[in-house]
Amino acid sequence: MPKPTFVLSLGGSLIAPASGPDIAYLGAVKSFLLNQIKHGRRFLVVAGGGQTARAYLSAARALGQSSNTQLDWLGIAATRLNAELLKNIFRPVCAEEIITDPTAPLGSRKNLLIAGGWKPGASTDHVAVRLAENIGARIIINLSNIDYVFDQDPKRSAAAKPLANLAWPELTGLIGKKWRPGANLPFDPIAAQRAAAKKMTAIIANGRDFKNLADILDGKKFIGTIIS
């Protein structure tokens, strides 16, 4: 019987905030996933670019005349750097090569596979959606530094309300339909449109709450936003 396989999109700002790689957090991620693997689960983990990507995009914008495509390639490089870091942390349980094309055959039966960015025009959320398509998964777990999607930016408004459930069109109303390199959104608009078309579900949750993540994996009640 095939092992249950989960697609996790791990926010780059969890992996490496502005101060650099978060060693304590990455150690906790390692312990958690290794324990889950020991209990018969398999994971495809997509590394985001986060603060690393945004720092380089900001520099490129300030010093040059970069196109959106060129800026996206900078962001992709940041995601692949974070993916390489994760790969090194999880040796030898993970596949040796990081995934750079989520539509290609996976080519590995390892219990952990790491993916980075793919191509310009969308973020690693889109990679997660395409990976889920690739393996026939219907759910994507998107881990970042927020507990919920809010109806407005909670950093700008104290009146922002958490949303436990959203339909894909409602999310599109909040985030728009266009992708901008380095955009800091709860979910990539391009990925959202594809996930909606494929009738997928995305769970947005706080990647630092491992008890909550365990509840998600176990199908229990959890803190987060369900988008379907």
- For residues 3-23, average pLDDT: 94
What confidence score (pLDDT) does residue 47 get?
98
What confidence score (pLDDT) does residue 2 get?
66
Token representation of residue 208: 């630092």
* 137 or 1, greater pLDDT: 137
- Please report the beta strands in 132-223, taking only residues with DSSP state E, as ranges in sequence order: 139-144, 149-150, 162-163, 165-166, 201-206
Q: Where are the domains of the chain?
A: 5-227
Does 141 score more than 90 pLDDT? Answer: yes
Q: How far apart are CA 206 and CA 210, in angstroms?
A: 9
What confidence score (pLDDT) does residue 154 get?
79
Does 24 score more than 70 pLDDT? Answer: yes
Does 214 score more than 90 pLDDT? Answer: yes
Does 32 score more than 70 pLDDT? Answer: yes
Helices and strands of the chain, counted as H and E runs: 8, 9
What per-residue string of b and e applies to 178-193 under the rule 16 or more CB within 10 Å gives b?
Answer: ebebbeebbbbbbbbb
- For residues 59-69, average pLDDT: 88
Token representation of residue 119: 């191509």
Beta pairing partners, 227: 166, 202
What confidence score (pLDDT) does residue 125 get?
94
What confidence score (pLDDT) does residue 15 get?
97
Confidence band (pLDDT; 50, 70, 90) for 64?
confident
* 104 or 2, greater pLDDT: 104
Share of the chain above pLDDT 70, in %: 99
Confidence band (pLDDT; 50, 70, 90) for 198?
very high
User: Across the chain, what does the average pLDDT equal?
Assistant: 93
- For residues 134-142, average pLDDT: 95
Mapping DSSP to helix (H, G, I), strand (E, B) and coil, where does residue 221 land?
Answer: coil
DSSP string, 82-128: HHHHHHHHHTTTB-SSPBS-TTS------SEEEE---STTS-HHHHH
Does 178 score more than 60 pLDDT? Answer: yes
Q: Which amino acid is at 90?
A: F
Q: Cα dist. 82→64, 77, 78 in Å?
A: 25, 9, 6
Share of the chain above pLDDT 90, in %: 81
Does 78 score more than 60 pLDDT? Answer: yes
Report which DSSP code applies to 212.
Answer: H
Token representation of residue 137: 């998964």
What confidence score (pLDDT) does residue 66 get?
78
The answer regarding whether domain 5-227 maps to CATH 2.170.190.11 reads no
What confidence score (pLDDT) does residue 1 get?
55
